[in-house]
Structure 1
């Protein structure tokens, strides 16, 4: 190996291989005389710049000035574009000539590799804070939970879990309109997650629930078998006693699952969504529902 080749190898190790230990390095083999290279360069620069926070960087290798390096990678035509992670080539990106194609390929790669990024670091920082807010929310302290989620929102205003937590805290405080505004302000992509669906279900439940100070008259009417009264009683109970609300709705479904176009089942499913489909309480109630429907 000549001194020039050794210098090129050292530079490649420093500028490409070492950064690839934690980042995904897009390597662009190009030359000044190459027309297609000049057309591709702006695409590579724009997309990799947009993906910087995801742990992606661009390294350009002039094949005329680095013939030894190009030979090691068996570059036979240019432009040739590879992706390297932890010192290993993980993908050939040469076929991606448009922004859309390149983004699609990078997204696929990033889903499969433990690339360190600003986004993942920020997510790791947020996780314990979100968990704390959720715990406070589960304990029923909606005022304190709202304060926690609003503080987290200053760090990540469009994070779906944070927005969902804020919305559910506001719902618990009887501020449904504000909760709706929080959810409506989310970008389209962020608004598709299950946590947002749960918050929307909680909002729908809050709109449906009709708290009643004295349930005795409604309970007496429901005891006669009046389905409308039982439905209203379940709505009144949802605000404070989910066990009683679920029991009322399950009894209604067992008696007449088609009453009012399946209104009791629809309300029960909304309650499940609002509580959270992974919650053990929901799993227990689902088993009861299945026993009624399929037992």
Structure 2
């Protein structure tokens, strides 16, 4: 196993449904419950939040196809061995044919392909079929690497746990709209929630995330990067790349780009970039150490 560069952006890969749901949030879990599973099928909406879990435990991604027998057999073995670990690993199953953006993010040339994420960084595990004994050996190596990277503890199961409280009606309306790809309706629901309750923090963060999804849904990362590189003074081009970096998990790159912009701008342009940073800080989470570090750098260039 060897570390490789950060995963390229997968357009639109932000999990808005996790704003108020604790389905994917990393907290300490108890012993495995009967029927509990730490395996889930990944789509673009859930991908980014799954990546975020790799900051707590190794997050394993299996790219395959239900039409490939070797892939279905491998996924069954992975599911069995991951779930037996009771939350020390998580597993995401990706239909590479139905989710080409995720497959492209891992530069998958052949399936089945299994990659682990440790602190957001990809760690190739194996390609092609593998028996349970081989998988367990690789898992043992992955466990050692995770410990070296400071990962530990467990996360709660994706299914089989106690029922979660229902979302507030407007939040549920927004989540439903997101699942249908109707970002305008989701934004309207969050705005209504904020109008009724101005201090609704989750609605505010949800609004920022919906706007991020809306801004990036039709962007091409390579084209956006080329435009930003050839037009360093084009404010919109720089903001677009920062948005795509956030969506793709390149959080520090996005923050660094925008703080640098703030240091070079003045008046309305400077304020526009500062406001975008504040929104993105909320999207990532104010308790995230990357946010704290960027806030300090922003304060230095502002004052």
Normalising by structure 1, report the TM-score.
Answer: 0.41
Q: More helix per residue: 1 or 2?
A: 1
Higher relative contact order (CA 8 A, sep 6+): 2
- Highest Rg: 1 or 2? 1
